[in-house]
Structure 1
Amino acid sequence: AGPYLALWNRVAGFRPDDLDAAFASGTVVRATLMRVTLHAVHRDDWAAFHHAMTHPLRGSRLNDRRFAPARLTPAEADEVRDAVLAFADRPRTQDEIVTELSRLLDDERAPATWFALRTLAPLHHVPSGAPWSFSPRERVYRAGARTAANEPPAGDDPAVVHLLRRYLAAFGPATEADFARFTMLRKPWTGPAVETLRPELVEIDGPDGVTLLDLPDAPRPAADTPAPPRLLGMWDSLLLAHADRTRVVPEPLRGHVVRRNGDTLATVLVDGRVAGFWRATDDGIDAAVVEPLPDRVWSALAAEAASLQELLADREPAVFRRYRRWWDELPDVEVRRLADARDAAAR
């Protein structure tokens, strides 16, 4: 549901069927990329993003103890990777790929090998079912390229520079440290990328004397521009886009927004900052906020919740249900029902 809610929050008139079609056509690609996590990106960006992320993608898996039972050197893993990519020249289920790995290696080594390859290999996730195009019960993959780099690119490689440019377009003004945090790239890549792109950038004085970088034609609204309330879905990139996450997440809430296991909760955004959390249940949509809100903000949030109910109604009304355990661990909050399922049914 994440990409759908992200676009619903940002694009006026967003229709989820349009994203279904974009996934089905391959215009939008779902793959493991920044921070070694799943992202939905335009197909024109995917190859550069994947190449730029070579170092963290490979390092996170080839150096992981869970890969050890594969008993493969990195060079041998690359040979097996290319064999899997040839096998996945058409959509293949996860079970089919593991079976092929068992044929290439053996039953004992196949699972550990797949643990690494499903992350580091240039694979696309193939739409496999409702309600959000990708069913967790059936994982299907297709090769996005016939092979991949065995070594990471240089920091000034066009792929890394392209990733930086696209990052700033989405989250600028920002610092090199912000870019590093969002991607999980280290200084040998972020530093040269920034210096290569710097002639195209503008510098902006940020808080506490920090110099921020941005694209010259990027929108930079005045500080007093109203920011409408929003109901962000889980893992929204806005909450993960900066080294100093207090730009968006107040310090007392950081440990609640991003949990130790990486879960990033569904949040209520007021004036551009996290003010609380929300959940969808079979009965409606609730908000839990940590500070009192004026009536006009509650009214705006209720309107957002009604719109969200319409988005979820035919797909998954109680979206993120399996993560609801976090709700009982929130700090002292005021809880209100923003939208009632009975009212939605009557509309």
Structure 2
Amino acid sequence: MVISARALNRATLARQLLLGREPLDVEEALRRVVALQAQQPASPYIALWNRLRAFDPAQLDAALADRRIVKATLMRLTLHAVRAEDYRSFREAMEPTLRSSRLGDARFRSSGLTAEDADALVAALLRYANRPRGSAELGEWFEKRLGRPLEAGAQRMLRQYAPLWHAPTGGPWSYNTRLSYEAAGAPRPALGNAKAPERGLRALILRYLAGFGPASIADMAQFAMVHRPRVRAAVKTLADEAGGLEQLTGPDGTVLYDMPGALRPEEDTPAPPRLMAMWDSVLLAYADRGRVIPSEYRKHVTRVNGDVLPTLLVDGRVAGVWRATDGGIEASAFHRLPGQVWEELAGEARSLVAFLAGRDPRAYSRYDHWWAKGVLAAETRLLPGD
């Protein structure tokens, strides 16, 4: 079966809860969308505001406080919010990537420590982090343990490698500039078990396909940042199991895989405009990001340092960027938009301004320097909050 580019787009939007806001609780939403990028504390909240009907941010606050949803370094070596019950398999899937990238990093190697030293340190660190520990506490612990100070870069690599959760530190979005860490709750990832990474990767691939499929081997590898041979082997195993995987052909002839019977709406299904969070997963989950971002706009959305700006999603594809200002939402469209689309975006802006008002009316303001440097805009409008 050949699937069109537009049908792929609609499959992604449907599974990512972007064809209509759903009446789900935050844990079920996280199950459906797999994971939410969380480098910026506001992003998981804005991502859920885009996806859930009458979303109350206090629901996510409570889920994070109760550790039903946790924040940790996972896919693509970046911070994600995931369900606590998914953490173990996701972390096991990422073990080889995390180990090679963090313990092979020059900042760690310059400390004079080996990977074997790191294993011993991590085991002891997890015992020490039986309650939230701030960065300064961890620095003091490393110094006492090693008998010398450990460079900040090496500490960072160890913190990112170890199975640690980020403990909430306060408002407005459960986390602030203070950093605090705690050992991942039971059951912890099975570090050192040779079979665990491949078992975890198969689990992650199934979740990825349910939330982002149909997708290619390259897409799966990009989503997690794992080597393609590992993905290819995992997909072969999954395809050979009872029930298997469905195989499709993409518009360019690429082989795509999907869960049997997975949701794939008609390609003419309407897609309402959305004001997407920074680093929203739909922008980053594929090797071929043309599914959501037109190629001519990609460099205007993903900046040279890796920042992924908040975007306008129009008819399911990126059509511009936005930022919060004192007067409302400033929306810059990369191409001219019909009046009806602007009216719909204005409705989204009113809702978003109200959502941000009680917590952080100027969310993402630290990234205003990109606007100062200039953003592509065929048309810019200030969409007021009232």
Q: In which range does the TM-score fall when normalised by the shorter chain? A: over 0.9
Letter in 1 for 2:348: E
Bigger mean CA deviation after superposition, 40-49 or 214-223? 214-223
CA distance in structure 2 between the aligned counterparts of 1:297 and 1:223, rounded to whole angstroms: 19
Matched, 1:126 2:126: no
> Please, which of 140, 164, 182 is the counterpart of residue 223 of structure 2?
182
1:306-345 aligned within 5 A? 306-328=350-372, 329-340=374-385, 343=386
Per-residue CA deviation, residues 83-140 of structure 1 (Å, 9 max, x unaligned), is 111100111111111110010114432534312111110000111100000111x111
CA distance in structure 1 between the aligned counterparts of 2:109 and 2:193, rounded to whole angstroms: 20
CA distance in structure 1 between the aligned counterparts of 2:292 and 2:147, rounded to whole angstroms: 48
CA distance in structure 2 between the aligned counterparts of 1:240 and 1:107, rounded to whole angstroms: 40
Q: Does the aligned pair in 2 maintain the 1:102–1:110 contact within 8 Å?
A: no
Letter in 1 for 2:263: P
Q: After the TM superposition, which segments of 4 or more aligned residues of structure 1 sit over 6 Å from their partners?
A: none
> Please, which of 215, 225, 228 is the counterpart of residue 272 of structure 2?
228
Q: 1:152: Cα distance to partner?
A: 6.3
CA distance in structure 2 between the aligned counterparts of 1:109 and 1:147, rounded to whole angstroms: 25
CA distance in structure 2 between the aligned counterparts of 1:148 and 1:84, rounded to whole angstroms: 16
> Please, which of 57, 71, 80 is the counterpart of residue 30 of structure 1?
71
**Unaligned residue ranges in structure 1 (runs of 5+):** none
CA distance in structure 2 between the aligned counterparts of 1:152 and 1:135, rounded to whole angstroms: 37
Q: 1:218: Cα distance to partner?
A: 1.9
Matched, 1:162 2:203: yes
RMSD in angstroms over aligned alpha carbons? 1.6
1:87–1:154: structure 2 CA closer, same or farther, 3 Å change rule? closer
1:152–1:67: structure 2 CA closer, same or farther, 3 Å change rule? farther
Residue 149 of structure 1 is matched in structure 2 by 191
1:7-156 aligned within 5 A? 7-136=48-177, 138-144=178-184, 149-150=191-192, 153=195
Residue 191 of structure 1 is matched in structure 2 by 232
Letter in 2 for 1:60: S
CA distance in structure 1 between the aligned counterparts of 2:221 and 2:195, rounded to whole angstroms: 16
1:337–1:147: structure 2 CA closer, same or farther, 3 Å change rule? closer
What is the TM-score of this pair, normalised by structure 2? Answer: 0.84
Q: Does the aligned pair in 2 maintain the 1:55–1:151 contact within 8 Å?
A: no
CA distance in structure 2 between the aligned counterparts of 1:151 and 1:188, rounded to whole angstroms: 19
Bigger mean CA deviation after superposition, 110-119 or 42-51? 110-119
The residue matched to 2:63 in structure 1 has which SS? Answer: helix
CA distance in structure 2 between the aligned counterparts of 1:215 and 1:161, rounded to whole angstroms: 13
Residue 263 of structure 2 is matched in structure 1 by 219
The residue matched to 1:45 in structure 2 has which SS? Answer: helix
1:80–1:46: structure 2 CA closer, same or farther, 3 Å change rule? same
Residue 323 of structure 2 is matched in structure 1 by 279
Greater RCO (CA < 8 Å, at least 6 residues apart)? 2
What is the TM-score of this pair, normalised by structure 1? Answer: 0.94
Matched, 1:172 2:213: yes
Q: 1:69: Cα distance to partner?
A: 3.1
Q: 1:208: Cα distance to partner?
A: 1.7
**Unaligned residue ranges in structure 2 (runs of 5+):** 1-41
The residue matched to 2:275 in structure 1 has which SS? Answer: strand
The residue matched to 2:320 in structure 1 has which SS? Answer: strand
Matched, 1:289 2:333: yes
Residue 297 of structure 2 is matched in structure 1 by 253
Percent identity between matched residues is: 48
Q: 1:250: Cα distance to partner?
A: 1.0
Per-residue CA deviation, residues 190-229 of structure 1 (Å, 9 max, x unaligned), is 0111112225221223212222211123211101001110
1:336–1:147: structure 2 CA closer, same or farther, 3 Å change rule? closer
Per-residue CA deviation, residues 149-201 of structure 1 (Å, 9 max, x unaligned), is 2476577x321111001111111111111010111100231011111222522
CA distance in structure 1 between the aligned counterparts of 2:238 and 2:60, rounded to whole angstroms: 32
Per-residue CA deviation, residues 63-95 of structure 1 (Å, 9 max, x unaligned), is 111112321110011101111111001111111
CA distance in structure 1 between the aligned counterparts of 2:314 and 2:123, rounded to whole angstroms: 48
CA distance in structure 1 between the aligned counterparts of 2:50 and 2:365, rounded to whole angstroms: 20
CA distance in structure 2 between the aligned counterparts of 1:7 and 1:147, rounded to whole angstroms: 27
Bigger mean CA deviation after superposition, 33-42 or 278-287? 278-287
CA distance in structure 2 between the aligned counterparts of 1:149 and 1:187, rounded to whole angstroms: 22
Bigger mean CA deviation after superposition, 194-203 or 321-330? 194-203
The residue matched to 2:264 in structure 1 has which SS? Answer: coil
Q: Does the aligned pair in 2 maintain the 1:121–1:148 contact within 8 Å?
A: no
